[in-house]
Amino acid sequence: MSGIVDGILNVTPALAYTLVALLVFAEDALFIGFVIPGETAAVLGGVVASRGQAELVIMMALVVVSAVAGDTVGYEVGRRAGPGLLENRHVLRHRDKLDRARDFLRRRGGWAVFLGRFVALFRALVPALAGASRMHYPTFLAFNAAGGLLWGAGFVLLGYLAGNSYGSVAKVVGGDVTAAVVVGGLVALAVWRFRRARGGKRGAPDGRAGG
């Protein structure tokens, strides 16, 4: 991993864009999230931009597009290959995480796609599971795009603000930051459902009226 980090921080801007985009894309599309967390690449992309070796807006855009595209490919692989894809020996090494991802997707639906973006192993598994379960693609795409936008822009900006302190940032992005984002997302979901339920009750017709 240290070799990859050093490589990204010491290459030309064009190659830095390419490496960061490929790592983010491949994490979901090729399941390499088991060994290379995509947020590390996104943070490093921000560090490169903070050093003046790349444009921040371009790096953000590339990471967001790569994240959304990677999830889309993962979805298509799951849809075409079916559940059998997730029975290979490499994935089965993480059987407990696979089972948790399945349960998460079953309980949360599209929100699992959004929130799973912020948990490393879920990022690699949820898109394929969504495809294998035949989740409605427009639903998948909407939550995928929202998660990719927030995740991609957020972690690149985090790396940009951290600058040379990227080492300490990289250690916490998979833990404290992820936990905070997931908790915040669940709270927002709970508030949204509560408000929708209240709105539904207010708009319901009075059964005692008319007749």
CA distance 100 to 181: 18
95 or 58: which leads in pLDDT: 58
> Does pTM surpass 0.95?
no
pLDDT score recorded for residue 69: 94
The answer to whether residues 48 and 6 touch, using CB atoms and an 8 Å cutoff, is no
Q: Are the C-beta atoms of 39 and 174 separated by less than 8 Å?
A: yes
At 183 the pLDDT is: 43
Greatest mean pLDDT range, 12-26, 55-69, 107-121, 185-199: 55-69
Query: How many angstroms separate the CA atoms of 26 and 39, rounded?
Result: 12
For helices 13-29 and 38-50, give the axis angle rounded to 10 degrees: 160
Contact 165, 173 (CB under 8 A): no
